[in-house]
Amino acid sequence: MTADDKQHEPSLRVEGRIVAGHGRRHRVELADGAMLDCMVRGRRRDIVCGDHVSLVPDGSGRGVIEDVAQRATLLYRSDARREKLIAANVTQIAVVVAPLPPFNEDLVNRCLAAAEHGSMKALIVLNKSDLAESAGARDALALYEKLGYRVIAISAKRDVTPLRHALAGEVSVLVGQSGMGKSTIINRLVPDAAARTAGISTALGSGRHTTTHAELYHLGAASDIIDSPGLQVFGLHHLSIDDAAHAFVEFREQLGRCRFRDCRHLDEPGCAIAVACAAGKVASGRLASYRKIARELLGSER
């Protein structure tokens, strides 16, 4: 049996989970808590934090990833040319916003749409709630509470207890714009996060993790949190227009009630969603976000 045959031998494989990665190099945690620095066999580059993998260890703290298990969920964004994977097998998306710098409501809408389309729970975390400017942010977020999304206000520099309760029993991923305080939240939830990250970044040769890759931390026996790089855009080109409309929860009651069966809810006459917006049942900002997404999707189709 050749060395290559041995690497493919099923009995030599072990199972693990990706807790950090950079390019084709990944940090894998085994069931006993051991960490291995692993490469991916072949040219595959679609492995992401949270993936469950099988690998062959080499006995020196390294290994080769052979296979990736089927994912329960996958959070990713896409534009007309490519997809950017964020995290796999998460149960909950926590969208982090703050009063300063002002958060982008369109980005929040897109993150929530991605959660709905991917069958993941979603909550919104208002950080820096101790600032005077937070009153306006709270008013803006009242809309999402009416839609059924949980909104939690915290000041990460003071107390993250309310958020910790909301993360219990979940595999959550933090997403949001740069400057919202995600790193501060992680450092308060996981006191040794900075030290561990420095070690992993050195091992993977990935530099500063806060702008390059996602990383998974344990919050307890049944709770995990994934920190992800700050977002400025969140493309949804992998959705169809029907998918996008269904991902806006308040649209669902009106879907199928438009004058035209193929209504795209843009400027068609007799659009039930436009009528609901005029009646105050759908927020104009939410409809504007949907229409922006729909036009992007139509542009990519052309």
> If DSSP states are collapsed to H, E and C, what string results for the chain?
CCHHHHHHCHHHCEEEEEEEEECCEEEEEECCCCEEEEEECCCCCCCCCCCEEEEEECCCCEEEEEEECCCCCEEEEECCCCEEEEEECCCEEEEEECCCCCCCHHHHHHHHHHHHHCCCEEEEEECCCCCCCHHHHHHHHHHHHHCCCEEEECECCCECHHHHHHHCCCEEEEECECCCCHHHHHHHHCCCHHHHHHHHHHHHCCCCHHHCCCEEEEEECCEEEEECCCECCCCECCCCHHHHHHCCHHHCCCCCCCCCCCCCCCCCCCCHHHHHHHCCCCCHHHHHHHHHHHHHHHHHHC
Quick check: do 74-227 and 241-301 share a fold? no
pLDDT of 244 strictly over 90: yes
pLDDT of 2 strictly over 80: no
Calculated CA dihedral for residues 43, 91, 239, 151, nearest 10 degrees: -130
User: What is the per-residue pLDDT across 253-283, written as a single tens digit (0 to 9) for each?
Assistant: 999 999 999 999 999 999 999 999 999 999 9
Q: What is the pLDDT of residue 156?
A: 95
pLDDT of 201 strictly over 60: no
Percent of the chain exceeding pLDDT 90 equals: 81
Q: What is the pLDDT of residue 200?
A: 55
Q: Are strands 150-153 and 171-175 parallel, antiparallel or unpaired?
A: unpaired
User: What is the per-residue pLDDT across 155-197, written as a single tens digit (0 to 9) for each?
Assistant: 999 999 999 999 999 999 999 999 999 999 999 999 888 755 5
For the domain 3-68, what is the CATH superfamily, name and number? Nucleic acid-binding proteins (2.40.50.140)
Q: Are 204 and 37 in contact (CB under 8 A)?
A: yes
Please indicate whether residue 302 or residue 30 has the higher confidence score (pLDDT).
30
Q: What is the pLDDT of residue 193?
A: 81
Mean pLDDT value across the chain: 91
Average the pLDDT over each of 9-23, 133-147, 153-167, 254-268 and give the range with the smallest value: 9-23
- Report if pTM > 0.85: yes
Q: Are 49 and 17 in contact (CB under 8 A)?
A: no
Q: What is the pLDDT of residue 209?
A: 39
| Domain range annotation of the chain | 3-68, 74-227, 241-301
CATH for the stretch 241-301: 1.10.40.50
CATH topology (fold) of 74-227 = Rossmann fold (3.40.50)
Percent of the chain exceeding pLDDT 70 equals: 89
Q: What is the pLDDT of residue 32?
A: 94
pLDDT of 204 strictly over 70: no
